[in-house]
Chain A
């Protein structure tokens, strides 16, 4: 079984401030972890993924995430927020591989960026 917890539904930061979006996971096997971003009325775009290589993963648009097994966390960060970062962010886990493996999504967090 696998699950993802994204605490809170909304994060608001000022432009130029640090962005921190939290994600905790539960998985009975070593997980694969993903962050996706969704802009209004669009599908999901992959930001980054962790697949058991380096624990610090760098993604697109200046985002990165660190896998911490002891904390079962995979928090997403960006040093300096930009107005264009305003969107919905989803953390997802896949706890197995093969034809029947599935992603389990968190409920998502809305990021707002204030001028």
Chain B
């Protein structure tokens, strides 16, 4: 199957700093990428959908100024957590969509664990 990578796999930062997470589709081009957040023992919560070359669409309740998403190319999307606080600590997972016309499949990255101290 298609491969999606994320970097870094884990990060620890001080409160108030910003953290950037990269998501890459390694062997396919993805016009659409997704960012999810997952709390322990819970399902994935969609944060935003990003389409290459356009602004991201955020889900209700997600602060767009807090979670900056850039999808500058067909293989790269970045999530920047600005002025991170302890409550932002979580497991962040990106996903890239492959295919079109009903055959689309989402492939997921390995996740990034963020700990804000």
Contacts and interface: CB of A to CB of B under 8 A. Distances in A.
Interface of A: 32, 34, 36, 41-46, 49, 51-52, 90, 94, 97, 99-103, 105-108
Contacts of A105: 43-44
A100 B50 CA distance: 10
A107 B42 contact: yes
B49 A46 contact: no
Assign chain B's interface to a size class. 20 to 34
Given A36-B108, A52-B102, A46 B1 contact: yes
Contacts of A41: 91, 111, 113
Nearest to B31: A99
A33 B103 CA distance: 11
B102 A43 contact: no
Nearest to A46: B1
B60 to A, nearest CB: 13
A99 B52 CA distance: 11
A101 B104 contact: yes
A66 B91 CA distance: 31
B6 interface: yes
30 contacts: A32-B102, A32-B104, A34-B105, A41-B91, A41-B111, A41-B113, A42-B110, A43-B6, A43-B109, A44-B44, A44-B93, A44-B95, A44-B108, A46-B105, A46-B106, A46-B107, A49-B105, A51-B103, A90-B44, A94-B104, A97-B102, A99-B31, A99-B32, A103-B34, A103-B106, A105-B43, A106-B43, A107-B42, A107-B43, A108-B43
A43 B103 contact: no
A36 B4 CA distance: 15
Contacts of A101: 104
